[in-house]
Structure formats: structure tokens, C-alpha cells
Amino acid sequence: MSEETNRNDADTKKADEKAPAAGLPPPEKRSPRTMAIVAVALVAILLVAAVAGVLLYRTSTENAPQKMVLATTTSTQDSGLLDYLIPKFDAKYNIKTSVVSVGSGQALALGQSGDADVLLVHSKAAELDFIAKGYGMWRKDVMYNWFMIIGPNEDPAQIKGMNDTIAAFRTIYNASATFCSRGDNSGTYTKELGYWKKAGVSPDPKVNAWYLNLSQGMGETLTTSNEKKAYTLSDSATWYSMSQNLPNLEIVLEGDKTNLLNQYGVIPVNASNGPHVHTGPALKFANWMISPDGQAIIAKYERGGKQLFFPNAS
């Protein structure tokens, strides 16, 4: 490289170092007034950016959905009702609902501990006790369907055609016919135990090999009953939702209006049960379920051309 080229590069570098920032006079020619204006402009820019950030955060926070935990029975989950209901509710009220699907007894326990905000269950005596003890704000009937005895196509206990639920349970016991019990502290399990008691018998899985205590939800209990060709007690909604996949089973007793009513209730959990109970969304859900809008949506839910739940808010 030539000496002349090096000299030119050095001159260029010196010129660059002396060049003022774009749009500003050289430092030695900047007056105090100019410097003050620049400082004010920079502060203004920073303030605008900060305010914009706060507004964006506030807007995103205000638009964020409220959270709510619904504890409910496996029958509302297995029947597909929740997949039908919850998106409509969440969209209407800008709420994000998390569902915990367990037996009614477990759902009530979650409400008592404050780990659920609202309950949709079907064990009325336990629900009323829950309210009496102050764990729930109030309880309302929402909807009903029916229990039914499901059994193997061969019907080894010969109860098909009977219309007395209690007599049918006694017959199953006397025949030592395989029976799958949910055994999960659910509303369905509570009903089943009540039928055995009224029949004057008490099957014990430790003594009666034919009596299988599964500790499972309704869908799993029906699946196991199909595999073992066993009798079981089911709610009608779950049965109609799953029956096409249960070729070894059929309805062997239904229509006993004295014994087989399956009533569901909704309970917003009391805020005193825990600091993380979301009372606002819970009340919105409970009131929506018993409103004309919610009741109409429940009535429209069908599977296989059959209405699965019948609204009866009170």
C-alpha cells in the first residue's frame, strides 16, 4: 500500500472523528440552550415509551380471561356435555375454565378445601350437607337424567323385563352374577350402595368374588363391564354416549321413576374455604347454568339422536 494512500486514510479517520452527530452542530458549538432541548427531547421520548408500555400491559391484563376451576362428575365429562357447554360459557364471559372430573364425593372435598370454585355434582344428600356446613354459597337443581342397570346380553341373573330396581339388585346378589361397582365415592356409587341396602344385602369384594370394586369413573366402569360381561349401574347420558362401543352390554332395567332419578346440582364454593377461591367466575357459571340461556343449551345437547340431560332449574 502506498504512503499517499495511508495518508489519505488517516485524514479520512480524523475527519470522521471530528464530524458532528447527524443534525447537530459540533460539540464545541453547541450552546447550553441546544443541550437543554436535546435533554428534554430524550426525556420526552423515554416517557412516551414508558407510558405506551404501561398502557399495553394494562390492556393485555384487562383483556386476559379470568380463571375458574370446575369440579364435576365423570358422567358430565364422559357424556361429552362439558365439551359442549364450557366453550360457550367461557366465550360469553371471557373466562378460562379448568375442569377436574372426579366422583361427586371427591368434587365436594375439592370445594371444601378451596381447590375448586364451583361444583356440578349429583349426590343431593351430600350436597345439602355441604351447604349446611357453610362450604357452599347455595345449591340449585340444574338438570336430571336417569340411572339404569346395564348388563351382559345373556342376562345371567334374568332381570330383563323387571321394573323394580331393588328387586333386581337382590336378584343379582342371589345369582352371584358378576357386578362392576365404581367404588369411587361418586354419586352413582352412593346410589348403588343405597339399592343394596334397600334390598337387604351387602356385597363385599373381599368375600364375594363376583363383586368387583373398581375405583373408576363411569366411562372406565362401563368399559370394564363390557370386557367382563358384568352388570353395573350407569347414568343414561354416559351409556348413550358410549353404548356403540360396548357390544357385550345392553340396558336390562330402566324406567323405575321411584328409584332411578339422577338429579344434578350446581354449587358456587364459599370464598372462606380458601384464599384462592374465584367467587366471581363461579357465580357467573352457577347463575348461567340455571338461567334460561343455560337451560336451553343443556336441553339441546344430544348424542345419537337422544337428549342426554333434562334441565329443571329451580
pLDDT digits (tens, 9 = 90+) for 46-84: 775 665 554 444 544 567 899 999 999 999 999 999 999
What's the mean per-residue pLDDT of the chain?
A: 89
**Nearest in space to 82 (alpha carbons), one of 283, 219, 183, 279:** 219
User: Residue 42's pLDDT band (boundaries 50, 70, 90)?
Assistant: confident
Q: Which domains does the chain have, with CATH numbers?
A: 64-144+262-311 (3.40.190.10), 146-253 (3.40.190.10)
Q: What pLDDT does 29 receive?
A: 55
pTM: 0.78
pLDDT digits (tens, 9 = 90+) for 232-255: 999 999 999 999 999 999 999 999
Mean pLDDT of 273-301: 97
Place of cell 369384594: 205
pLDDT digits (tens, 9 = 90+) for 8-19: 454 544 444 444
Residues 6+ apart with CB under 8 A from 35: none
Q: Are residues 224 and 216 in contact, defined by beta-carbon separation less than 8 angstroms?
A: yes
> Interior CA angle at 40 toward 39 and 46, to 5°?
90
Place of cell 321411584: 258
Q: What pLDDT does 48 receive?
A: 59
Q: What pLDDT does 64 receive?
A: 87
pLDDT digits (tens, 9 = 90+) for 274-284: 999 999 999 99
Q: What pLDDT does 198 receive?
A: 98
Mean pLDDT of 200-225: 97
Residue 145 β-bridge partners: 262
User: Residue 314's pLDDT band (boundaries 50, 70, 90)?
Assistant: confident
Percent of the chain with pLDDT over 70: 82
